[in-house]
Amino acid sequence: MSGLPKYFLTFLISGIISAKETKTGIESLPKEAREKIQQDAANIATEWLPTLRTLTSHTQEKITLNAFIQKLMPHGFAKVGGLSARDAEDPPDRWDIRRRENAAKYDRKFINALQLHSDDYLTYQSFAKTIESLLAIWPNKLLPLDVDGDGKITLAEYAASSPLVQDQDTDEEGFSKDQRRRFAYYDDNKNGVIDGAEILSSTSYYHKTMRHYMSTILIARADLNQDSTLSQTELAKLIPQAKKLPKSVPLSEALFWLRDLDSDDLTSVRDQLLGQTTVSFQQKKMKADDGKSLAYELGTLVVPEVRGDSKSRMIKIGFARFKAKNNATAPPIFYLPGGPGNSYLMSFNRSDVDDLNRRFDLSGMREFSDVIFVDQRGYTEQGDILRATFETPTMPAGSLIDRPSHLDAFRKFAQSATKEFAEKGINLAGYTVKECAYDVADLRQALGYEKITLVGTSFGSQWSFAVMKLFPDIVERALLSGVEPLDFSLDKPSDVFSAILRMWQKVDADPAFKSYLPPGGMAEAARTVIARLEAKPMPVIRKSADGKEEIICLIGPKSFPLYDPADILELYHQQPDPTRWERVRKSRGGKDSYRLILPLIDSSLGVTPERKYQLWNDPAVRYLGRRNFEHLITSTDDWPSPNMGDAFRRAQACPIPVVFAQGDWDTSTPIENTYHIAPFFTNSHTIIANQGGHGVLSPISHQHQKTWQKILTFLRSGELENLPSRITLDPSKKFRVPKVDLNEVDHN
């Protein structure tokens, strides 16, 4: 529970009130068991306290214990219901009555524990201690049975605590059926012993029980006409996935009916009724090369799909938290992935600790901060991965392979995808960078942090700009790379071309390319090739062993290979590689499983009118075309995600300390983006990385360790002094030498 008190200093549902100094029953348990129970109790309390707060009057700052218990009692809690309308239709058998009696017994245990560990008000501490005491019941019952102290309870040890009654039948080993049945109940994995995990397995039971308890209160909200009965119509709205709904369920009996549902259904019940943010955790471990492991929390954030819409469905977003090695001395670091449509968490299943240290210097950051990796709504394995199939015509052999824009097809795709997901109950209007920013703010609050530090590359930097614009008071500082301002979702062709020209300087100076370059270097070769392609498409010909020629494809100006100097030089010498260009032809067209979060966010962000004019009329369109942005601009009105507006897109002065780290070979988010936005951040510092590509944080951490240590100092304290303004990295891209026979060159 060490990571939680800070949160509840600012968000105690009952104010800053201490729990009673009471024992919970974990004191005599082994250390590992104590820590496991404390962590599980903390997770349950963290998940459900926001729910409890919502259940009370919004005019109250505290939850009184008596008021909370009274909230539970009217709905069948801690009592065995008598005959009801439901029972008249389907009378309970003796086993149903027995289950109700057992449920009521555990309900009373819960209330008694609440009263024991609470004063007049329900606090986080008292709630967590209540859960602790309930989780301790099972291990306190089982551990004394381990007579030989080997951490395992055999059937013989268990049977000693459950002696035979007179004349009870036994098997050849001397055990009764009842003893074997009870032992099998605890021996979950059926390996013949009750071992550590099974001794502590009451956690899942009480977590499920807590879901039932909260649902007991929540179901009252579904009673829209306030007649104390849930009609079939009201039930269908509450849990549309349930089948064979009864005609009606009295509120006094609803708890017992809901207890027949799966706990996942109950989560949906809660989320539908509350329409509020919640978090939950799973405890995970990640291996390291040395055989050790690192514990972390895999979490799920539940938020409205469309904030402000009372009928919005709730969606899930994944995150992972790695706690600081000791006590955190700096705000937590929130890592925001790029894209849109990328996820750090998706790689965790195939990653180890050493991999994360290499990619993010996780170990270095954990010296002073918690580190949280956040997924994007609409692209998270904990929730939805929104994809739709976009299909375009394939290109037959011998055809002109100029990359078509497919503007009409993309507009129809946007319309059909919107309709398809609407029919599934998914509102694509909720997938904007503003909603993503609210997700970060809600996660910060749910985890109990006052302020956070943002680290983002590419769209992660744009996401960070949105957070800083909407919630400047919660951001302590930021480290951004591959910088993408809010008005720069779509890159200017000339800015991209400038980065390519800097790469070409490296090619021009490379002795391996000297014999292939014209007098004007790569720039002259590119001018010559584009002029030829504009005048007439160039055929790519493959000769067979018997001398026959086959036209693979025709290359036009819209297929100009700007990013590969060797391709340009092969075209300059009129010797295009047929194998490479056949791969290009085959890659054009076909079915694409499209990540919808990308066009939804980019089209809603859009661009200001002045930026759109610059994009459309940029001189480098001659080389790059408009294919990277025209489909998004043209289809903006076909996507349901709302326009963010020019006021949101335009940069404004901001005092938040920021370090910008930008590669000058970056063709995805060119260096001009950083030059534009940095002056608006009055407490910022810019590091330009010569030869750096898209995102330079990891290369800096490996190649410039002194600079990286200064960046870590900034993340820890906000100190901007002594940071360099320019460094040189190893080239982020290597260039292949062209396949050209200089004896067969024809430049006519």
Reported as a pLDDT band with limits 50, 70 and 90, residue 4 is very low
Most confident among 4-8, 358-362, 454-458, 607-611 (mean pLDDT): 454-458
Query: H or E element: which one contains 323?
Result: none
* Residues 464, 457: Cα–Cα separation, whole Å: 9
Please report the pLDDT score of residue 204 as a whole number: 60
Residues 6+ away with beta carbon under 8 Å from 665 = 499, 502, 503, 691, 692, 693, 731, 732, 733
* Residues 431, 378: Cα–Cα separation, whole Å: 7
Query: H or E element: which one contains 61?
Result: none
Comparing 419 with 207, the larger pLDDT belongs to 419
Query: In this structure, what DSSP letter does residue 738 have?
Result: P
3-state SS class at 316: strand
198-212: average pLDDT: 63
* Residues 452, 331: Cα–Cα separation, whole Å: 5
Q: Does residue 264 have a pLDDT over 60?
A: no
Report the alpha-carbon angle 249-251-252, nearest 5.
105
- What distances in angstroms separate CA 493 from CA 385, 414, 500, 709, one per listed residue? 31, 25, 11, 35
Please report the pLDDT score of residue 80 as a whole number: 44
399-424: average pLDDT: 88
* Residues 558, 538: Cα–Cα separation, whole Å: 12
Query: H or E element: which one contains 31?
Result: helix 31-55
Most confident among 156-160, 195-199, 287-291, 511-515 (mean pLDDT): 511-515
What is the set of domains in the chain, with CATH numbers? Answer: 5-139+201-274 (no CATH), 294-384+428-489+651-728 (3.40.50.1820)
The mean predicted confidence, pLDDT, of the chain is 83
3-state SS class at 357: helix
* Dihedral pair phi/psi, residue 285, rounded to 5°: -135, 140
* From 58-62, 193-197, 308-312, 378-382, the region with the lowest mean pLDDT: 58-62
* Residues 488, 607: Cα–Cα separation, whole Å: 7
Please report the pLDDT score of residue 666 as a whole number: 96
Please report the pLDDT score of residue 156 as a whole number: 86
CB-based contact 282:46 (threshold 8 Å):
no
Provide the phi-psi class of 344: left if phi over 0, else alpha when psi is between -120 and 50, else beta: alpha
- Burial of 711-728, coded b for 16+ CB within 10 Å and e otherwise, reads bbbbbbebebeebeeebe
153-169: average pLDDT: 78
Token pair of 735 as six digits = 């260039």
Q: Does residue 282 have a pLDDT over 80?
A: yes
Which amino acid appears at position 590 of this protein? G
Token pair of 197 as six digits = 């995990």
Taking each helix axis as running N to C, give the angle between helix 94-117 and helix 65-72, from 0 to 180 degrees, rounded to the nearest 10: 170
DSSP state string for 697-727: HHHHHHH-HHHHHHHHHHHHH---TT--SEE
Residue entry with tokens 């300059």: 572
Chain mean position to CA 113:
36
Query: In this structure, what DSSP letter does residue 545 have?
Result: T
Taking each helix axis as running N to C, give the angle between helix 202-218 and helix 263-274, from 0 to 180 degrees, rounded to the nearest 10: 40
Reported as a pLDDT band with limits 50, 70 and 90, residue 228 is low
Please report the pLDDT score of residue 131 as a whole number: 83
Residue 68 burial (C-beta neighbours within 10 Å; 0-12, 13-18, 19+): buried
Reported as a pLDDT band with limits 50, 70 and 90, residue 92 is low
Give residue-wise pLDDT tens across range 526-577: 999 999 999 999 999 998 888 888 999 999 999 999 999 999 999 999 999 9
DSSP state string for 201-265: THHHHHHHHHHHHHHHHHGGGG-TT-SSEEEHHHHHHH-TT--S--SEEEHHHHHHHHTTS-HHH
Q: Please confirm whether the linkage preceding 340 is cis (ω < 30° from 0).
A: yes
Comparing 62 with 232, the larger pLDDT belongs to 232
Reported as a pLDDT band with limits 50, 70 and 90, residue 63 is low
Comparing 106 with 689, the larger pLDDT belongs to 689
CB-based contact 320:296 (threshold 8 Å):
yes
Reported as a pLDDT band with limits 50, 70 and 90, residue 496 is very high
3-state SS class at 510: coil
Please report the pLDDT score of residue 3 as a whole number: 36
Give residue-wise pLDDT tens across range 335-344: 999 999 999 9
725 closest CA partner among 697, 695, 688, 681? 688
* Residues 501, 520: Cα–Cα separation, whole Å: 13
Which amino acid appears at position 163 of this protein? P
675-702: average pLDDT: 97
* Residues 245, 519: Cα–Cα separation, whole Å: 81
Q: Does residue 590 have a pLDDT over 60?
A: yes
282-301: average pLDDT: 88
Q: Does residue 597 have a pLDDT over 60?
A: yes
Share of the chain above pLDDT 70, in %: 79
Please list the residues that pair with 334 across neighbouring strands.
Answer: 372, 454
DSSP state string for 423-489: HTT--GGG-SHHHHHHHHHHHHHHHT-S-EEEEEETHHHHHHHHHHHH-GGGEEEEEEES---TT-S
* Residues 332, 323: Cα–Cα separation, whole Å: 9
18 closest CA partner among 127, 110, 135, 136? 127
Residues 6+ away with beta carbon under 8 Å from 112 = none
* Residues 165, 449: Cα–Cα separation, whole Å: 57
Please report the pLDDT score of residue 182 as a whole number: 80
Token pair of 503 as six digits = 């790469």
106-118: average pLDDT: 78
3-state SS class at 573: coil
Comparing 241 with 535, the larger pLDDT belongs to 535
Give residue-wise pLDDT tens across range 611-637: 889 999 999 999 988 888 888 888 889
CB-based contact 318:381 (threshold 8 Å):
yes
645-672: average pLDDT: 95
Residues 6+ away with beta carbon under 8 Å from 164 = 170, 176, 179
CB-based contact 689:652 (threshold 8 Å):
no
* From 109-113, 175-179, 211-215, 338-342, the region with the lowest mean pLDDT: 211-215
Most confident among 110-114, 157-161, 522-526, 589-593 (mean pLDDT): 522-526
Q: Does residue 138 have a pLDDT over 50?
A: yes
Please report the pLDDT score of residue 513 as a whole number: 96
